Amino acid sequence: MDISQVARQTGIAASALRYYERQGLITSLNRRGARRIFAPTVIQQLGLIALGQTAGLSLDEIKLMLTPQGKFEIDRTLLSQKAHEIDTRIKQLRAVSRGLRHAAACPAPSHAECATFQRLLKDAASGALRQSEFPLPTRPKRSPAV
């Protein structure tokens, strides 16, 4: 496959393909004139690069999982660590989302009077929202009418 076919099939710009090649992530077989020619397996390699980048892996970390022959040597420990980081971030984002949704629909006359919103601000200021375990915003219990 020439570089334009790879670019068309993957949606990855030819300039990015050349960059990946310079970084040693993919290898062209040879050139046809000025065009690089790649083995069909480059599609899988590019898939691994895209998946790794989406997961937050650096190109250097991804490169360690690709052999010069284009085969995979997956670091399962690293993938488990990244999956844990993603799960933690999802929990954080869900908590923030719930807090923001509450603030948007809060019946309190002012957010200064909303205990849930104030707790969210306190957690954000203290760094609790960046920690892996933190209290999730909940609706305050109503006090009985007197």
> What type of residue is 22?
R
| Contacts of residue 18, Cβ cutoff 8 Å, sequence gap at least 6 | 3, 36
Q: Are strands 35-37 and 30-32 parallel, antiparallel or unpaired?
A: antiparallel
Tens digits of residue pLDDT in 16-31: 999 999 999 999 888 7
Q: Quick one: pLDDT at residue 110? A: 87
- For residue range 109-126, list pLDDT tens digits in order: 888 888 888 888 888 888
Q: What is the mean pLDDT of residues 34-47?
A: 91
For the chain, the C-alpha Rg in angstroms (whole number) is 24
User: Averaged over 28-42, what is the pLDDT?
Assistant: 85
Tokens of 125: 């200021």
Ranges of H-type helices in the chain:
3-10, 14-22, 42-54, 59-63, 76-105, 115-126
Q: Map out the domains of the chain as residue ranges.
A: 3-63, 76-130
Gap between the Cα atoms of 134 and 116, Å rounded: 14
50-83 pLDDT tens trace: 999 999 999 999 999 998 777 899 999 999 999 9
Helix/strand/coil for 30: strand
Q: pLDDT value at position 100?
A: 85
pLDDT at res. 18 = 93
The reported pTM is 0.70
Say what the pLDDT of residue 140 is.
40
Query: Is the pLDDT higher at 131 or at 145?
Result: 131
pLDDT at 113: 85
Alpha-carbon span 120 to 41, nearest angstrom: 48
CATH classification code of 3-63 = 1.10.1660.10
CA dist., res. 47 & res. 51, Å (int): 6
Under the banding of pLDDT at 50, 70 and 90, the label for residue 131 is: low
